[in-house]
Structure 1
């Protein structure tokens, strides 16, 4: 099952995001095939202000565990996190 994980950073948290970023990237790379895509949301000045991950896991509980295990989440970066069931409808990546 595919899920989108939407994360909104707390205000004025860019320093925390940048400090934890190496651990966050290591964590994402360790997810293997479960991670389909990931990247930051940007403000008008191209600064990251949140994250979006698309994951392919067995259940919403597994998606939540993946989100909760992210070093960004553990560091308290996010003001809000949403997990939504999702299906790739148009222009899926080539296998």
Structure 2
């Protein structure tokens, strides 16, 4: 099952994001094929304000455990994290 992680940064936390970005990217790369896509949300000035990740996990509990291991989450970057099951209906490169 795929899960979308929709994460919103706390106001004024850009420096926390920048300080933890290398560890965050290393963590995402360590997920291997379970990571289907990831990237930051941007404001109108191009500043990062949140994250969206697409993760394959066996169930919601596994997805939640992955979200808690993210260095951004451990650093307290996020104001909110929403984890939602997601169906990749169109342009899924893994669909037959």
TM superposition score category, shorter chain reference: over 0.9
Distance (Å, rounded) in 2 between the aligned partners of 1:93 and 1:41:
23
Structure 2 equivalent of residue 62 of structure 1: 62
Distance (Å, rounded) in 1 between the aligned partners of 2:62 and 2:54:
13
Structure 2 equivalent of residue 18 of structure 1: 18
Query: Secondary structure of the residue that 2:39 maps to in structure 1?
Result: strand
Listed as ranges, the gaps of 5+ residues in structure 1 are none
Do residues 80 (structure 1) and 80 (structure 2) align?
Answer: yes
TM-score when normalising by structure 2: 0.96
Query: Secondary structure of the residue that 2:23 maps to in structure 1?
Result: helix
Cα distance, 1:91 vs structure 2: 1.1
CA-based RMSD: 1.0
TM-score when normalising by structure 1: 0.97
Listed as ranges, the gaps of 5+ residues in structure 2 are none
Distance (Å, rounded) in 1 between the aligned partners of 2:67 and 2:6:
9
Distance (Å, rounded) in 1 between the aligned partners of 2:94 and 2:65:
28
Number of equivalent positions: 95
Do residues 31 (structure 1) and 54 (structure 2) align?
Answer: no
Please list every run of at least 4 consecutive aligned residues from structure 1 whose deviation after the TM superposition is greater than 4 angstroms: none
